[in-house]
Amino acid sequence: MARKKLTKSSLDELAKRMPILSEALQMTYIGGYDTNDCWWRCIAYLKSCGIDYDADAAMAIASGYYGDNFDENNYAFSGNGHDHKKFASNFFSGSEEGYCSGQILVFNPNTTPGWSGNGTSSHAVIIKRYDKSGNMVVFDPQNPEEGEFVIKRSDVSSGAFVVNVK
């Protein structure tokens, strides 16, 4: 059997014929992913001590929380700061496995310099530490390739809150 040679022109022709689907549209076909799973990824991050916090890990925790009302295409955490804190307290107090303590910052990315909400008014990240000026050094489990960011306390709006996991 002869092998066909892949050329730039054949790739260009393929690109003309291939449909381009946004990630959101792809997920409507594939299912099982919500771009607003940041809270669940933070919980998965602390549960696994930073080992397993991908979309599947987040979805498994969200599914357990929502039960029969779970929608695999829309499972962003709904609730206020008290609800977030109550969930985290209950989730980790009943955990038989080891987990890592930490802090989760929930804030409005639309009012925080350097961030964008992409249609949502809240976002959750892991506070890794505080620098000597008291600013938060955070890690975003939804975008691990981005590394760590510094968020100045003065840049976080008054509606933001921190969930402590001990």
Q: Does the residue 101 lie in any domain?
A: yes
Q: Does the residue 156 lie in any domain?
A: yes
Q: Does the residue 47 lie in any domain?
A: yes
pLDDT in tens, 61-91: 999 999 999 988 888 998 899 999 999 999 9
Given strand 148-151, what is the order of strands in its sheet?
148-151, 136-139, 123-130, 102-107, 161-165
Distances (CA, A) of 67 to 5, 17, 18: 52, 42, 38
Q: Does the residue 66 lie in any domain?
A: yes
Record the pTM: 0.78
Q: Does the residue 1 lie in any domain?
A: no
83's tokens: 């609800």
Q: Does the residue 111 lie in any domain?
A: yes
- Provide mean pLDDT across the span 114-143: 91
- Provide mean pLDDT across the span 121-144: 94
Domain count of the fold of the chain: 1
Lowest mean pLDDT among 39-48, 103-112, 150-159: 150-159
Going by pLDDT thresholds of 50, 70 and 90, the confidence category of residue 120 is confident
| Residue that has been written with the tokens 């599947």 in this structure | 56
Q: Does the residue 42 lie in any domain?
A: yes
Domain of 96 in residue numbering reads as 21-165
